[in-house]
Amino acid sequence: MHRQSTSRFTGTMITGILLVAATVCLSLSYGIFELTLVDLGKIFLGLETVREHEVLIYDFRLPRIVIAALVGAGLAIAGAVLQGISRNGLADPGLLGINAGAGLAIVIFMFFYQGKLMGTDWRAILAMPFFGLAGGLGAVALIYLFGWKNGRMDPQRFLLTGVALGSGFGALSLYITLKMNPADFHSATVWGLGSLLHANWDYIFSMLPWFLLLCPVIFLKGPILDLFGLDEGNVRSLGVAVEKEQIILLVCSAGLVSACVSVAGSISFVGLIVPHIVKQLVGIRHDRVIPACAVGGMLLVLAADFIARNLFAPVEIAVGVIISLIGIPYFIYLLFQAKHQR
């Protein structure tokens, strides 16, 4: 049985990585200006003599692909963690208001800088995840505070509090956005829908430290997340400091979400869809769920971004809209499934 589950996990990971690689190749080669695989090979080997091809790949398409992969991985991992902590399969960074909290802090940042530094100054780009973290942690603190009932985290209160706070943060973000000048309003609106339009290497370097710091912590906490599936009394009897571990994992999740939101805006449902699908494929052990979620999240956002760029080209759709079109029906399906299981 163990050997079968291991081979299933290995097969899922290999298949996922191959699909990600295929999506990356397709995204690099296909667009308004198309390149062949031979052209791509020449560019990466340094044999390409057409300067425009190099600019297209290294300055536009490749940074966007890398950011899409990081955002997908980060949001999917955060979703798996939040579902494990809350014991609620409907938990998602977007639905719980963490996206909205991080987004509100970043909108405030954008408002005071009035677009003078956004996307052009590395100091602003590096500062955005810190502002997002402040907003995300504020949302997490409120969710944790109001989701507490009778000395324990109540899954229903946890989710409902997040939904309510997310709505409130979203309304405040909209109010502040409306106070911006027209150019900044347009940029903030597009960003808020979940867009990779202004992706560049500076944004990637601003995200990487968060991933390198937080993802190993989350992976090492996989056995703790497995224990959270048990009754809380049983978890405490095993010597686990429940509140401490919950706070550590919530902070790590908020950090990942904030880094993603600072670059790509509020993209919901990745953290809802991917963990559910992954658990059906590899089981519920988090030492397998977390890496599989990373690959699955990459695949989902990369595919959604490819559709967003090319469906109505040259007009581009926000990638968050594409994922919402997938996520909303899936969320409704999960609600009906949960209802029938009761």
Which residues have C-beta within 8 Å of that of residue 239, sequence separation ≥ 6? none
Q: What confidence score (pLDDT) does residue 249 get?
A: 92
pTM above 0.75, yes or no: yes
Q: What confidence score (pLDDT) does residue 117 get?
A: 45
Extract the tokens encoding 107: 């909108």
Walking along the chain (342 residues) 10 residues at a time, the average pLDDT comes out as: 77 96 94 86 82 87 95 95 86 86 89 60 76 89 80 76 89 89 79 82 90 94 88 78 87 92 88 92 92 96 93 84 88 72 56
H/E stretch holding 149 = strand 148-149
Distance separating alpha carbons of residues 204 and 202, to the nearest angstrom: 5
Q: CA angle, 133 as apex, 130 and 135 as ends, to 5°?
A: 115
H/E stretch holding 152 = strand 152-153
Q: What confidence score (pLDDT) does residue 12 get?
A: 93
Task: Match domain 2-341 to its CATH number in 1.10.3470.10, 3.30.70.2190, 3.40.50.11900, 3.30.2000.20.
Answer: 1.10.3470.10
Q: What confidence score (pLDDT) does residue 114 get?
A: 61
Domain ranges of the chain: 2-341
Q: What confidence score (pLDDT) does residue 75 get?
A: 95
Q: What confidence score (pLDDT) does residue 9 get?
A: 92
Extract the tokens encoding 31: 């667009």
Q: 198-219 as b/e, with b when 16 or more CB fall inside 10 Å?
A: bbbebbbebbeebbeebbeebe
Distance separating alpha carbons of residues 317 and 324, to the nearest angstrom: 12
